[in-house]
Structure 1
């Protein structure tokens, strides 16, 4: 009795569909921004390090609150590009503080608090974990003799060209909250993140959001805060 051989086409199409689904799933995945965050709260003069019992809960400012941004001379009197970057940074901080019940006022309008936000970034040639030496790959060379055709060759090791290390970025962001009347610092927080990802407002937004995690009474010590961003 003759039996037809089952076709492989359905299996091939199934494998292809699975591959496409995986690729699409990867495109729809998220980018994890892991920041090292350290915060300090001192809402009262008698309070000590952040998150300790010495800071009385009754002294914490209850939402809603208003504040105005405060700039350093370099942030206020720098070139146009620096001022534009600072405005963008403050806009991201404003968006992060709004859900916490803190609203920014315009100009010199009276407010009980001031907020100063700053950020810095440095581009490194390679990450601290990269091999500082270029990778070497086998190469084969040959030549033709002068009298008749002679083919000879040898296997050698040489660097892979072009050789480019992907850059690595180190970024930091900080926010300082002061009491307007006395100028006393009542809250300080900073976040640090390093990765191969290029600069983007979404990345800075994630870092600011991480820095404000657990505001206004954060735990003591350095902690890792993760914010997921769509790719």
Structure 2
């Protein structure tokens, strides 16, 4: 893209660059805030089918404590995704411990298996934001294709001063199976959208949300909010 500028005589500072830096710093300040916690709001939906568990299972609706082993898909057990899967399972282990389930020392005899997965979709902006919201073509005139600086510069650009603020859609899923029969007895998903960066604390909060009311969750979708220390 070609940019044309009309330059007055002499060298002056670039106030637009300063303004852009100031706006970026302000955005980071607003995101970080000064509170000691931030809220991870999750849309959760869970399905329990303990009644279909074979009679050889420990109980129709198992009471804690219970033991399990992790089960992986082929794509989760090898290649570049293996390290990320191990980190995710470590977070799931902590979340499951909060509901009284622990990783079995001898995986081959664990009565339950747990499969955990996660995914992220990165968007350049929030779905409700106009693509031109981040364009500032001057002082107080969004959407223009030029800017007039305080020193008289006229700068042409249809993508002038783009202020990208990525938006993320994330989801975690847990599937519990009766190990002997491979029957799915519990499934839960938690979805979260927002601008928070990916951290272990954020994913841990989503897993906690997915396990809310385990092992007998209510029917239908529900919102589960988790506060995470900064």
TM-score, with length taken from structure 1: 0.72
Aligned equivalent of 1:43: 50
Aligned equivalent of 1:124: 123
Aligned residue pairs total 185
Q: CA deviation at 1:43?
A: 0.2
- CA change 1:59–1:137 in 2 (3 A) is same
User: Structure 2 matches for 1:134-173, cutoff 5 A?
Assistant: 134-138=135-139, 139-140=147-148, 161-173=160-172
Cα distance in 1 for partners of 2:71, 2:159 equals 51
After superposition, the CA RMSD in angstroms is: 2.7
Aligned residue for 1:137, secondary structure, equals coil
User: Runs of 5+ in structure 1 lacking a partner?
Assistant: 1-22, 47-57, 144-152
Aligned residue for 2:38, secondary structure, equals strand
Aligned equivalent of 2:174: 175
Cα distance in 2 for partners of 1:106, 1:178 equals 18
Q: CA deviation at 1:109?
A: 3.2
- CA change 1:127–1:142 in 2 (3 A) is closer
Aligned equivalent of 2:66: 65
Q: After the TM superposition, which segments of 4 or more aligned residues of structure 1 sit over 6 Å from their partners? A: 153-160
Aligned equivalent of 2:34: 27
Q: Is the 8 A contact 1:115 1:176 kept in 2?
A: yes
- CA change 1:157–1:178 in 2 (3 A) is same
Aligned residue for 1:86, secondary structure, equals helix
Q: CA deviation at 1:99?
A: 2.0
Cα distance in 1 for partners of 2:149, 2:43 equals 51
Q: Deviations over 1:23-68 (max 9, x none)?
A: 9xx534311000000000000129xxxxxxxxxxx72101111100
Which has more radius of gyration?
1
Aligned equivalent of 1:202: 201
Aligned equivalent of 2:107: 108
Cα distance in 2 for partners of 1:142, 1:222 equals 53
User: Structure 2 matches for 1:212-231, cutoff 5 A?
Assistant: 212-231=211-230
Q: Deviations over 1:144-177 (max 9, x none)?
A: xxxxxxxxx7999976843122111110100000
Q: Is the 8 A contact 2:44 2:209 kept in 1?
A: yes
Aligned residue for 2:202, secondary structure, equals helix
